[in-house]
Chains A and B, each alone.
Chain A
Amino acid sequence: MATLRVDASLDNLDRLIAFCEEEAAAAGMSPGMIGRLALAVEEAFVNICSYAYPQGGGFAELRSTATADGLEIEMADAGAPFDLLSLPDPDTSLSIDQRQAGGLGVHFIRHFSDRADYRREGGQNLLRMLFRYQPEKG
Chain B
Amino acid sequence: MELTSKTIDAVTVISLQGRVDAFTAPACEIGLKERLTDGAALVLDLGGLEYISSAGLRVILAVAKVLKSTSGKLVMANVTGTVREVFEISGFGSIFTMYDSVDEAVAALP
Contacts and interface: CB of A to CB of B under 8 A. Distances in A.
Contacts of A96: 61, 64-65, 68, 95
Contacts of A14: 23
Contacts, number: 67
A92 B89 contact: yes
A30 B86 CA distance: 18
B85 to A, nearest CB: 8
Nearest to A9: B23
Contact of A111 (B58, B62, B89): B89
Nearest to A110: B89
Interface of A: 10-11, 13-14, 17, 32, 35-36, 38-39, 42-43, 45-46, 49, 91-97, 99, 101, 104-105, 107-108, 111
Interface residues of chain A: helix, strand, loop or mixed (majority): helix
User: Main SS of the interface on chain B?
Assistant: helix
A45 B50 CA distance: 20
Contacts of A95: 95
Nearest to B53: A42
Contacts of A111: 89
A85 to B, nearest CB: 16
A99 B91 CA distance: 10
Contact of B82 (A35, A46, A94): A35
Contacts of A101: 58, 61-62
